[in-house]
Amino acid sequence: MIKKFVSGTPFNTEAVTDFYSYENNSLASLPYFNFTTEKDKLILEYRMAENDAVYGLGEANRGINKRGGRYVSFCTDDPSHTEEKVSLYGAHNFIIVRSSKTFGLFIDCPSEVVFDIGYERYDILSISCVSDVAIFLITGNGLYDIARQFRQAIGTSYIPPRWAFGYQQCRWSYMSAAEIRDVVFNHRKHNIPLDAVYMDIDYMDGYKDFTVNDATFPDFTAFVNEMSSMDIHLVPIIDAGVKIEKDYETYEEGVANDYFCKNENGEDFTATVWPGLTHFPDFLNPSAREWFGNKYQFLIDKGIDGFWNDMNEPALFHTPEGILEAHERACALADLDPDPASSEYMDCFYKFKDLSSRLNNRMEDYARIYHNINGQTVNHLKVHNLYGYNMTRAAGEAFERICPDKRLLLFSRSSYIGMHRYGGIWTGDNMSWWSHILLSMKMMPSLNMCGFLYTGSDIGGFGCNCSRQLLLRWLGFGIFTPLMRNHAALGTRVQEVYRFENIHEFKNVIDIRYALLPYLYSEFVKAALKDEMYFRPLAFDYPDDEIANRIEDQLMVGEGLMIAPVYTENTVRRYVYLPEDMLYIRFKGFAQRTCEILKKGDHCIEVGYDEIPVFVKKNHMLLLTKPALSSNALDYYKYTAYVYRDPETSVTYELYNDDGYTSRLSLKDNISPISVDESGKLIAASGYEVEV
Ligand code: MIG
């Protein structure tokens, strides 16, 4: 059951699809919590028992169980995800508290929200935000049911085309068509499957959105076709900021129609990002959103069928006002008597140093931005967390107009709950650190709770230099994430798999993704259409198992699998806890696989660098197809089935399959049952060929 509690006049973020159809209960009647209001601020407090756990918060730092930390929902472009960071790119204010009561809570608030989950005091969960807020309280039959009810309330998750489940290669930046051809050639040469190559900001002319550099990408349409004939999709980036340049169409139209955000003087707000001085489309203004969305047609007309939206927190490098302040401070410093003993001098020096090193993403600058929301002028700080959401919504809504029959790939860096209906997200600028494999694993189930199913991290790590073993192990987890993309930053060591020795080991790992692809796609689409989680903490499947409840480095995937990736260097074994007897399949490439039944309890398994352990739950089925070099070349009708069942028990798997593009997804029409009956006989729906 979902109940809405309201304080003041909440802003409808459109996260909850039927926001107005819920009865407005007064905050005073909110159960479980004590609340206090100070000026325009609201603080909610819940007393936690010793063993209570808190799940959720989507793209957030730290654990699957969020207890013990402090988290601030304020979409932030911070490329250093160290342990003490409290804000990342998304704002996903949904938690489930597992306690004697067990309930879900969604703080629907587009400005900053602070969650202190037992950090100040281990027994106190405290949430603070502005006092104009809608709060949704969800009760139900356990963790999984509460998550599902919440997902029903926020609308069906975005489903990408099937090719987006293939392996994808990115780098900031492949500078030319020739360089991209080379990347594709090398993957094909070494028989590494590949479905997409990304185009980072340098494909544009002067970092101007909706332009292509003719010198480095001559005859772009022909290039897109050439790639597509090899089953390679090109995925260009779109940045939020629009370059200020006379006669640049997007700029001129934005200015002429007042589609850009304003500053306190009513002028178009200006800050620098990659193109230099830019304006920022007012994605919260419905007409601006429609206009910007339509712009994607420029690339769709050239054959492009996938996009990633970046810099939409929005990231600001600096503003002219910020520079001016730093300049004034520098002048003041120069005017002071540089007596090293003078505290005034040193104070001024440190203020200057701080100012110049923190010119980016300053609160003072965000505070200068104004939106036009249905005729009302709204300060940015009130709605900050909705900017990236509405940029991606602009694109998603436009795609429904431009190509209603076909799904396109779309994902974003910044997001708020609600955006999950229009696109996926990737988890931003991580590093080539072992700890970031684990961090990304922990984010996955929390993101799924909040509706973000199509997601993954930059495999191999974005910042820093990647090593061969790190990449192999990261891929070993990445073969289960819907978005499986290798990406690295400018200036870092090249990390395409063919740059390293023993390339066949990379093939061994990536081949497993392709063998699993039809199954994972089926699991994904079913999860999306049924508002279920594709990734789950063990606690969701085994709520009464105290050991399972505390596991932070294993995940449930789809209805029938459990995974236990390796995330530490130079290790070839790992401990795994089995919450029940399971079928353990050990892959070393597609051809070499062994399986054995392991009993409930602790196990230590051998996991060679290119090996993948998969665990199948009892009375479930796993289907494998033969790997191929692209998702398009896979056989979606021929499988090898792995079934682990109780004697005399029949097992049925409902396989979802479609043409990979259609936007008319139907569970009714696209499910084919594949069963093993009591006697062990296999019965597959017609058209399918399956062996056990
Ligand atoms: O300020 O476009 O997160 O994936 O490669 C860096 C360049 C801008 C940040 C994105 C990253 C992308 C990079 N972008």
Q: Dump pLDDT digits (tens) for 21-59.
A: 999 999 999 999 999 998 899 999 999 999 999 999 999
Q: Is 531 in the pocket of ligand 1 (CB under 6 A)?
A: no
Looking from the CA of residue 429, the nearest atom of ligand 1 is 3
Cβ atoms of residues 488 and 494 within 8 Å: yes
Amino acid identity, position 501: E
245/250 Cα distance (integer angstroms): 9
Residue 427: pLDDT band with limits 50, 70, 90: very high
Ligand 1 centroid to Cα of residue 170, in Å, is 11
Q: Ligand 1 centre and the CA of 505: distance in Å?
A: 29
Q: How confident is the model at residue 1 (pLDDT cuts 50, 70, 90)?
A: very high
Dihedral class, residue 43 (left if φ above 0, else alpha if ψ from -120 to 50, else beta): beta
Q: What atom in ligand 1 is closest to the CA of residue 79?
A: 3
**What pLDDT score was predicted for residue 339?**
79
E strands, 152-305, in order: 167-169, 196-199, 233-239, 242-243, 271-273, 276-279
CA pair distance 576, 250, nearest whole angstrom: 54
* C-alpha 310 to ligand 1 mean position (Å): 7
**pLDDT of 485 strictly over 80:** yes
Cβ(488) – ligand 1 distance below 6 Å: no
158 CB within 6 A, ligand 1: no
Residue 429 Cβ inside 6 Å of ligand 1? The answer reads: yes
Q: What is the DSSP letter of 102?
A: -
- Which atom of ligand 1 is nearest to 413's Cα? 3
Q: Which of 171, 200, 208 to mutate to test the pocket of ligand 1 (most atoms within 8 A of CB)?
A: 200
DSSP E strand stretches across 403-520: 409-412, 415-416, 424-426, 455-456, 458-459, 484-486
What's the whole-number average pLDDT of the chain?
97
CA 360–ligand 1 middle distance (angstroms): 15
Answer whether residue 390 shows pLDDT above 90.
yes
Residue 108 Cβ < 6 Å to ligand 1: no
Question: What distance in angstroms lies between residue 128's CA and the mean position of ligand 1's atoms?
Answer: 31
pLDDT of residue 688: 93
Residue nearest atom 5 in ligand 1 by C-alpha distance: 172
The closest-lying atom of ligand 1 relative to the alpha carbon of residue 170 is 5
For the chain, percent of residues with pLDDT exceeding 90:
94
What's the pLDDT tens digit per position in 97-155?
A: 999 999 999 999 999 999 999 999 999 999 999 999 999 999 999 999 999 999 999 99
Q: Which residue's C-alpha comes closest to atom 1 of ligand 1?
A: 311
340 pLDDT above the threshold of 80: no
88 Cα: distance to centroid of ligand 1 (angstroms) = 14
The encoded tokens of residue 313 equal: 């927190």
Task: pLDDT band for 357, please (50, 70, 90 cuts).
Answer: confident
Confidence of residue 347 (pLDDT cuts 50, 70, 90): confident
Residue-wise pLDDT tens digits, 301-311: 999 999 999 99
Our answer on whether the CB atom of 609 is closer than 6 Å to any ligand 1 atom is: no
Whole-model pTM?
0.97
Q: What string of DSSP letters covers 47-63?
A: EPPTT-EEEE-SS-SS-
The pLDDT value given to residue 356: 80
CA 112 to CA 117: how far, in whole Å? Answer: 16
Rounded to 5°, angle at Cα 114 from 321 and 69: 120
Beta carbon of 202 within 6 Å of any ligand 1 atom: no
By percentage, how much of the chain surpasses pLDDT 70? 100
pLDDT at 117: 98
| Alpha carbon of 77 to ligand 1 centroid (Å) | 10
Q: Please provide residue 632's backbone torsions phi and psi, each rounded to the nearest 5 degrees.
A: -65, -25
Measured from the Cα of 273, ligand 1's closest atom is 1
Answer whether 275 contacts ligand 1 (Cβ < 6 A).
Answer: no
Residues 148, 157: Cα–Cα separation, whole Å: 12
Each residue of 196-217: pLDDT tens digit? 999 999 999 999 999 999 999 9
**Is residue 428 lining ligand 1, measured as CB closer than 6 Å?**
yes
pLDDT, tens digit (0-9, with 9 covering 90-100), for 656-673: 999 999 999 999 999 999
571-578: average pLDDT:
98
Cis before 31? omega within 30: no
